[in-house]
């Protein structure tokens, strides 16, 4: 649940640090409003609604300079229908197969970036590569995984 | 709208936004590209979906801790520094930190809260159960993690394959033995029945052809197969995902048929909740059945669902037949003139004598010493195994005569390799021509024969004891590691062949050669003997101090066979095949 909530917010803010702050605030409200939750409704949709309100409040209180997206683009992104829980499950399931196709170096980079959460600058320094080169490599791997997921889902 | 977007530039900006942070100018650039191109927006969405899925499959410590009861620790001031904005450190208020910490607990707690709050109401909130720790670590690879008390071993798995009955695996690589842990990921077989116990307490009886995806302790996805699920109260909330629907168990027994294009579910006892596709948290109660894909329900489908009781009875009957056949094989083998000793571990042996049924007269019966327990053997109640988990536990025998080659064969069910060396069969004095067959703590098989015990080497037995003469000239033939903790409780067939004539030592695991090594000239000895020896321990009655090396095997040894011959790989394979329990 947390990764999906994180992804939901990140997509709308395009900033990792701001996303973590809004995620914390969202979690706090979920806790405070737990008794308001209506059994029988989608829990995921309920948490996303809370996140949406927190995002609005966050944007309202930030200077425009700190926000990545203008109101226009924010609304475009926010209005786009988010994928359903079933689609997300299918994507995760496909991804688990797809990562098996990565070579050793690619797997290692994904592990370091995601599971170990090592800053890219540190990874770049350890591998004696430029930050841009590591960023591009990561981007290519994600693209490859995205294509693999698409193929598997379409099957 | 602008059609020709610079996709490389867009990818760079999206990567910056997910992995690092965008500069002001890059942020404006991304905003502008997305505003002017639907194609760019689509690409942005797709890359974010992949990024989110990666966060889920490889959850970072931070996201894992966000959803764990220990979340308070994550929000300790020192950690907050690590995770707060680098541009604006200290923006987060301690009050928010604490409250957020509490709020995180609820994401897990809310599930239990909702279940408890509802009482009998048909709702189970399932926010975290299906998506935690979906880590694609190679199956059953032991890992170590540091804890406050030192290094602790960990394994990967959400369920245990308790039993298989006549299961046909797609190939040998995908074969999974009974008792194995099932890590997250796919699990498929083309026929037979498998019984799977999930760590949450749910049990699935699955009849193939079946294709499952283990998601977590609490969830499994079923693409194909006929299934009966038994979910005790402790596992309430267990989810079976099938045909786009979540079947959420509220403490019950239900059947699912996902074979031959069907997708239907029936509740045998209790009730389940259906969520997704055409279902909106619909309750299905005992005696009710429905199709998950709007097709008509086949009223006969319950009769096709595997019944564990009947299957187990069939399995017991098969086991009896197989055991009878195996006994016949052992009886024939007992008359083989090449035999030195054969300890068949039959279920009836009296007192503490462990029968040797070899017709030759080289070896005495074994004597059970110390705290040895007789436990069900490989054929369950049909046979007996001897458990030697205490340091003083041993089966002692005396073998006279001289021999020209050795074959050792036994079945072992190892609980742990807790000593540096763990005995399979060791002669007492380890004098010239005497064998030592054991497993090292790291799972490597060791076979050796003393070549020249007159060469003086000394071995310390304790800090306050004088060293004793121990090893002379010999060579230890090692295999690679053949046992690891994930194999705990599994029966393994082991064999070692010492062939001085061919100058070869060959070791086998489950009927297959695991290592072969040439006997170099200096280590050749062709007059072999055993003398006093022990199964599962090492006796040193003539040592000069009270200290003794602890080498008892923490496990069960069955059917030790010793021959005065170097059996061929086909013969070893035959012993394995006729003795393995299906």
Q: For B268-303, what is each residue's pLDDT tens digit?
A: 888 898 988 888 888 898 888 999 987 777 777 778
Opening angle at CA B254, ends B238 and B582, nearest 5: 90
The token duo for B70 is 């220990």
How many structural domains compose chain A?
Answer: 2
| Chain B residues 29-88 with CB within 8 Å of chain A | 30-31, 34-35, 41, 44-64, 66-67, 83-88
How confident is residue B119, by pLDDT bands cut at 50, 70 and 90? very low
**Nearest CB to B276; choose among A43, A69, A86:** A86
* Model pLDDT, residue B507: 97
Residue A31 at interface with chain B, using a CB cutoff of 8 Å: yes
Percentage, residues of chain B above pLDDT 70 = 78
- Indicate whether A29 and A66 sit together in one domain: yes
Cross-chain residue pair B20–A25, CB shorter than 8 Å: no
CATH number belonging to the domain at B314-579, selected among 2.40.40.20, 3.30.70.60, 2.60.120.200, 3.10.20.30 = 2.60.120.200
- Indicate whether A31 and A68 sit together in one domain: yes
Chain A closest-CA separation from residue B221 CA (Å): 9
- A115 to chain B: closest CA residue: B60
How confident is residue B515, by pLDDT bands cut at 50, 70 and 90? very high
Res. B13: pLDDT tops 80: yes
Tens of pLDDT, residues B138-191: 344 444 444 444 455 566 788 999 888 888 888 777 788 888 889 888 889 999
CA distance B581 to B83: 54
Q: Which of A79, A98, A121 is the last residue of a domain?
A: A79
Tens of pLDDT, residues B200-226: 889 999 998 999 999 988 899 999 999
Residues in B touching A89 (Cβ below 8 Å): 130, 221, 241
Residue A61 at interface with chain B, using a CB cutoff of 8 Å: no
- Indicate whether A7 and A61 sit together in one domain: yes
Residues with Cβ within 8 Å of residue A113, at least 6 apart in sequence: A120, A123, A138, B19
* Model pLDDT, residue B189: 93
Cβ-based contacts under 8 A for chains A and B = 232
Cross-chain residue pair A68–B213, CB shorter than 8 Å: no
The token duo for B296 is 């008509």
How confident is residue B74, by pLDDT bands cut at 50, 70 and 90? very low
Chain A closest-CA separation from residue B255 CA (Å): 22
* Model pLDDT, residue B124: 32
Tens of pLDDT, residues B518-570: 999 989 998 999 999 999 998 876 656 666 678 889 999 989 999 999 999 99
- Indicate whether A74 and A89 sit together in one domain: no
Residues in B touching A7 (Cβ below 8 Å): 48-49, 51-52, 55
Cross-chain residue pair B18–A24, CB shorter than 8 Å: no
* Model pLDDT, residue B462: 54
* Model pLDDT, residue B449: 94
Res. B62: pLDDT tops 80: no
Backbone angles phi, psi at B361, to 5 degrees: -115, 35
CA distance B111 to B216: 15
* Model pLDDT, residue B154: 60
- B84 to chain A: closest CA residue: A17
Tell me the torsion sign for CA atoms B28, B33, B35, B41.
Answer: negative
Residues in A touching B117 (Cβ below 8 Å): 39
How confident is residue B255, by pLDDT bands cut at 50, 70 and 90? very high
- Indicate whether A65 and A109 sit together in one domain: no
Contact predicate B419/B552, CB 8 Å: yes
How confident is residue A136, by pLDDT bands cut at 50, 70 and 90? confident
Print the SS3 string covering B233-289.
HHHCCCEEEECCEEEEECCEEEEEEECCCCCEEEEEECEEEEEECCEEEEEEECCCE
Among B79-83, B159-163, B315-319, B534-538, the least confident range: B79-83
DSSP state of A81: P
CA distance B258 to B295: 12
CA distance B215 to B240: 10
CA distance B462 to B545: 9
Q: Which of A33, A53, A79 is the last residue of a domain?
A: A79
**Nearest CB to A39; choose among B46, B118, B128:** B118
Percentage, residues of chain B above pLDDT 90 = 37
**Can you spell out the DSSP letters for B76-106?**
SHHHHHHHS-SSSTT-S-HHHHHHHHHHHHH
Q: For chain B, which residues make up each domain, given as ranges?
A: 7-58, 73-118, 155-306, 314-579
Chain A closest-CA separation from residue B325 CA (Å): 43
Residues in B touching A117 (Cβ below 8 Å): 60-62
Cross-chain residue pair B114–A37, CB shorter than 8 Å: yes
**Nearest CB to A138; choose among B15, B99, B184:** B15
Same CATH topology for B155-306 and B314-579? Answer: yes
* Model pLDDT, residue B375: 85
pLDDT, greater one: B375 or B148: B375
Stretch (H or E) spanning A19: helix A16-32
**Residue A72 belongs to domain spanning:** 2-79
The stretch B77-105 carries a mean pLDDT of 33
pLDDT, greater one: B237 or B119: B237
Cross-chain residue pair A17–B130, CB shorter than 8 Å: no
A53: CATH: 1.10.1740
The stretch B58-66 carries a mean pLDDT of 71
- A94 to chain B: closest CA residue: B53
* Model pLDDT, residue B152: 56
Cross-chain residue pair B221–A93, CB shorter than 8 Å: yes
Residue A65 at interface with chain B, using a CB cutoff of 8 Å: yes
Cross-chain residue pair A146–B277, CB shorter than 8 Å: no
* Model pLDDT, residue A141: 93
CA distance B99 to B172: 52
Residue A80 at interface with chain B, using a CB cutoff of 8 Å: yes
Residues in B touching A1 (Cβ below 8 Å): 67, 107, 127-128, 131
Res. B30: pLDDT tops 60: yes
Res. B394: pLDDT tops 80: yes
How confident is residue B452, by pLDDT bands cut at 50, 70 and 90? confident
Q: Which of A23, A54, A79 is the last residue of a domain?
A: A79
How confident is residue B12, by pLDDT bands cut at 50, 70 and 90? confident
Res. B343: pLDDT tops 80: yes
Res. B313: pLDDT tops 70: yes
Residues with Cβ within 8 Å of residue B157, at least 6 apart in sequence: B139, B140, B181, B182, B183, B199
Res. B87: pLDDT tops 70: no
pLDDT, greater one: B456 or B468: B456
Residue A77 at interface with chain B, using a CB cutoff of 8 Å: yes
Residues in B touching A142 (Cβ below 8 Å): 15, 47, 50-51, 54
**Nearest CB to B107; choose among A30, A92, A139:** A30
- Indicate whether A57 and A107 sit together in one domain: no
Which residues are paired to B374 by β-bridges? B386
Among B37-46, B198-207, B417-426, B543-552, the least confident range: B543-552
Chain A closest-CA separation from residue B98 CA (Å): 9
| C-alpha B521: how far from chain center | 41
- Indicate whether A38 and A102 sit together in one domain: no
Mutation site for B-interface testing, chosen from A8, A9, A20, A31 by largest number of B Cβ within 10 Å: A31
- Indicate whether A93 and A55 sit together in one domain: no
Q: Which of B26-30, B95-99, B102-106 has the highest mean pLDDT?
A: B26-30
Average pLDDT, whole number, for chain B?
79
- Indicate whether A73 and A91 sit together in one domain: no
- The interface predicted TM-score (ipTM) is 0.93
Q: Which of B127-131, B340-344, B416-420 has the highest mean pLDDT?
A: B340-344
Chain A closest-CA separation from residue B2 CA (Å): 15
| Chain B residues 169-188 with CB within 8 Å of chain A | 184-186
**Nearest CB to B49; choose among A34, A83, A89:** A83
pLDDT, greater one: A140 or B90: A140
- Indicate whether A59 and A73 sit together in one domain: yes
Res. B460: pLDDT tops 60: no
* Model pLDDT, residue B204: 94
Domain B155-306 sits in CATH at 2.60.120.1440
pLDDT, greater one: A23 or B304: A23
* Strand bridging mode B421-427 / B458-459: unpaired
Contact predicate B264/B256, CB 8 Å: yes
At B464 the three-state DSSP class reads coil
Can the peptide bond before residue B275 be classed as cis, meaning omega within 30 degrees of 0?
Answer: no
CA distance B287 to B568: 58
Q: Closest Cα to residue B509, out of B486, B481, B475? A: B481
Residues in A touching B276 (Cβ below 8 Å): 85-86
Among B321-330, B401-410, B498-507, the least confident range: B321-330
**Nearest CB to B67; choose among A1, A85, A145:** A1
A114: CATH: 1.10.10.10
* Model pLDDT, residue B195: 93
- Indicate whether A105 and A56 sit together in one domain: no
Res. B378: pLDDT tops 60: yes
* Model pLDDT, residue A83: 67
Alpha helices in B58-93 (DSSP H): 61-66, 71-74, 77-83
Give per-residue burial for B450-466: e unless 16+ CB within 10 Å, then b: bbebeeeeeeebeeeee
Opening angle at CA B530, ends B527 and B531, nearest 5: 125
Mutation site for A-interface testing, chosen from B58, B105, B121 by largest number of A Cβ within 10 Å: B58
How confident is residue B72, by pLDDT bands cut at 50, 70 and 90? very low
Average pLDDT, whole number, for chain A?
86
């Amino acid at each position: 649940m947390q990764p999906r909530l994180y992804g939901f917010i990140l997509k709308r803010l395009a900033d990792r640090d701001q996303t973590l702050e809004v995620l914390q605030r969202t979690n706090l409200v979920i806790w405070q409003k737990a008794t308001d939750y209506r059994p029988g409704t989608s829990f995921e949709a309920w948490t996303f609604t809370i996140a949406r309100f927190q995002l609005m409040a966050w944007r309202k209180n930030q200077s425009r300079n700190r926000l990545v997206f203008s109101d226009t683009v924010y609304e475009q992104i926010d209005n786009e229908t988010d994928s359903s829980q079933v689609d997300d499950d299918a994507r995760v399931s496909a991804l688990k197969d797809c990562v098996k196709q990565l070579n050793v170096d690619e797997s290692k980079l994904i592990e370091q970036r995601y599971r170990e959460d090592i800053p890219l600058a540190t990874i770049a320094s350890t591998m004696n590569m430029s930050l841009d080169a590591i960023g591009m490599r990561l981007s290519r791997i994600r693209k490859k995984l995205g294509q693999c997921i698409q193929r598997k889902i379409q099957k | 709208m602008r059609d020709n977007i610079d996709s490389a530039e867009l990818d760079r900006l999206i990567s910056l936004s997910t992995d690092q942070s965008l500069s002001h100018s890059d942020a404006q650039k991304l905003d502008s590209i997305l505003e002017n191109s639907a194609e760019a927006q689509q690409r942005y969405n797709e890359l974010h979906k992949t990024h989110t899925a990666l966060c889920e499959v490889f959850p970072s410590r931070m996201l894992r801790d966000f959803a764990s009861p220990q979340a308070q620790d994550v929000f300790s001031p020192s950690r907050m520094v690590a995770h707060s904005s680098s541009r604006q450190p200290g923006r987060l208020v301690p009050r928010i930190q604490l409250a957020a910490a509490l709020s995180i607990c609820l994401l897990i707690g809310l599930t239990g809260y909702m279940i408890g709050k509802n009482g009998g109401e048909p709702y189970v909130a399932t926010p975290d159960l299906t998506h935690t720790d979906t880590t694609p670590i190679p199956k059953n690879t032991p890992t170590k993690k540091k804890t406050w008390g030192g290094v602790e071993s960990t394994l990967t798995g959400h369920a245990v394959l308790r039993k298989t009955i006549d299961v046909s695996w797609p190939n040998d690589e995908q074969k999974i033995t009974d008792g194995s842990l099932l890590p997250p990921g796919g699990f498929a077989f083309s026929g037979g029945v498998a019984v799977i116990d999930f760590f949450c307490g749910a049990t699935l009886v699955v009849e193939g052809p079946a294709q499952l995806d283990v998601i977590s302790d609490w969830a499994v996805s079923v693409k194909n197969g006929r299934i009966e699920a038994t979910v005790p109260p402790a596992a309430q909330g267990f989810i079976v995902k099938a045909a786009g629907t979540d079947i959420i168990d509220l403490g019950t027994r239900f059947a699912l048929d996902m074979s031959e294009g069907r997708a239907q579910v029936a509740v045998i006892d209790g009730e389940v909740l259906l969520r997704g596709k055409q279902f909106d948290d619909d309750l299905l109660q005992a005696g009710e059945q429905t199709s998950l894909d709007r097709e008509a329900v086949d009223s006969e489908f319950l009769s096709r669902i595997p019944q564990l009781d009947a299957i187990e009875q069939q399995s017991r009957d098969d086991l009896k037949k197989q055991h009878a056949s195996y006994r016949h094989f052992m009886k024939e083998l007992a008359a083989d003139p090449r035999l030195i000793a054969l300890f068949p571990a039959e279920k009836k042996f009296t007192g503490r004598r462990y029968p040797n049924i070899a017709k030759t007269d080289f070896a005495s019966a074994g004597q059970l010493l110390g705290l040895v327990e007789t436990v069900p053997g490989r054929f369950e109640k049909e046979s007996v195994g001897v458990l030697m988990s205490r340091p003083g536990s041993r089966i002692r025998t005396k073998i006279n005569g001289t021999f020209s080659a050795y074959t050792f064969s036994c079945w072992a069910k190892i609980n742990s390799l807790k000593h540096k060396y763990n005995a399979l069969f060791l002669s007492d004095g380890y004098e010239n021509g005497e064998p030592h067959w054991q497993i090292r703590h790291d799972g490597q098989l060791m076979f050796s024969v003393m070549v020249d015990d007159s060469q003086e080497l000394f071995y310390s037995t304790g800090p306050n004891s004088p060293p004793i003469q121990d090893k002379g000239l010999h060579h230890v033939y090692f295999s690679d590691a053949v046992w690891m903790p994930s194999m705990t409780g599994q029966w393994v067939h082991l064999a070692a062949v010492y062939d001085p004539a061919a100058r070869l030592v060959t070791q086998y695991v489950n009927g297959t050669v695991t290592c072969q090594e040439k006997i170099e000239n200096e280590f050749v000895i062709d007059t072999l003997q055993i003398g006093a020896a022990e199964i599962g321990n090492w006796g040193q009655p003539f040592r000069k101090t009270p200290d003794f090396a602890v080498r008892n095997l923490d496990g069960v040894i069955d059917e030790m066979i010793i021959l005065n011959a170097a059996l061929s790989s086909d013969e070893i394979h035959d012993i394995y095949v006729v003795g393995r329990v299906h």
